[in-house]
Amino acid sequence: MASRFQRKVLPLIPLYILLIAIALLIIYPCVWMVLTPFKTSSEVWSTSLRSLIPRHFSWELYREVLEVATVPIWVYIKNSLVTSLGSVAINVTACILAAYALARRRLIGENLFILFFTAMMIIPQQVIAVPLYLVLNDMKLLDTYSGVILSLSAEGLSIVVLYRFFREIPQELIDAAKVDGATEFDIIRRIVIPLGWPAVTTVILLQFIASWNAFIIPLVSTISQEKYTLQVIMAYFSTSLYVKFRLIMAVGTIITIPSILIYVLTQRKIIEGMTAGALKE
Cβ(58)–Cβ(38) under 8 Å? yes
CA 80 to chain CA mean position, Å:
12
CA-to-CA distance for 205 and 33, rounded, in angstroms? Answer: 24
Least separation, in Å, of the C-beta of 257 and another protein?
Answer: 11
Cβ(62)–Cβ(37) under 8 Å? yes
Nearer to another protein, 58 or 266 (CB): 266
- Strand spans (E) along 173-254: none
**Residue 114 touches another protein, criterion: CB under 8 A:** yes
Name which of residues 12 to 51 contact another protein (CB under 8 A). Answer: 12, 15-16, 18-19, 22-23, 25-27, 29-30, 32-33, 44-45, 47-49
- Exactly one of 65, 98, 174, 199 binds another protein (CB under 8 A); that residue is 98
- With CB under 8 A as the contact rule, which of the stretches 55-63, 157-165, 173-181, 192-200 interacts with another protein? 157-165
Burial degree of 226 (CB within 10 A; 0-12, 13-18, 19+) = exposed
- Exactly one of 108, 172, 181, 243 binds another protein (CB under 8 A); that residue is 108
Name which of residues 199 to 238 contact another protein (CB under 8 A). Answer: 209-210, 212-213, 215-216, 220, 231, 234-235, 238
Name which of residues 47 to 86 contact another protein (CB under 8 A). Answer: 47-49
**Residue 150 touches another protein, criterion: CB under 8 A:** yes
**Residue 192 touches another protein, criterion: CB under 8 A:** no
**Residue 1 touches another protein, criterion: CB under 8 A:** no
Nearer to another protein, 51 or 58 (CB): 51
**Residue 128 touches another protein, criterion: CB under 8 A:** yes
CA-to-CA distance for 72 and 61, rounded, in angstroms? Answer: 14
CA-to-CA distance for 75 and 228, rounded, in angstroms? Answer: 8
- With CB under 8 A as the contact rule, which of the stretches 61-69, 70-78, 116-124, 191-199 interacts with another protein? 116-124
**Residue 135 touches another protein, criterion: CB under 8 A:** yes
- Written as one string, the DSSP assignment of 147-189 is HHHHHHH--THHHHHHHHHHHTS-HHHHHHHHHTT--HHHHII
**Residue 250 touches another protein, criterion: CB under 8 A:** no
**3-state class (DSSP) for residue 105:** coil
**Residue 198 touches another protein, criterion: CB under 8 A:** no
CA-to-CA distance for 85 and 149, rounded, in angstroms? Answer: 9
- Exactly one of 17, 53, 127, 176 binds another protein (CB under 8 A); that residue is 127
Cβ(177)–Cβ(193) under 8 Å? no
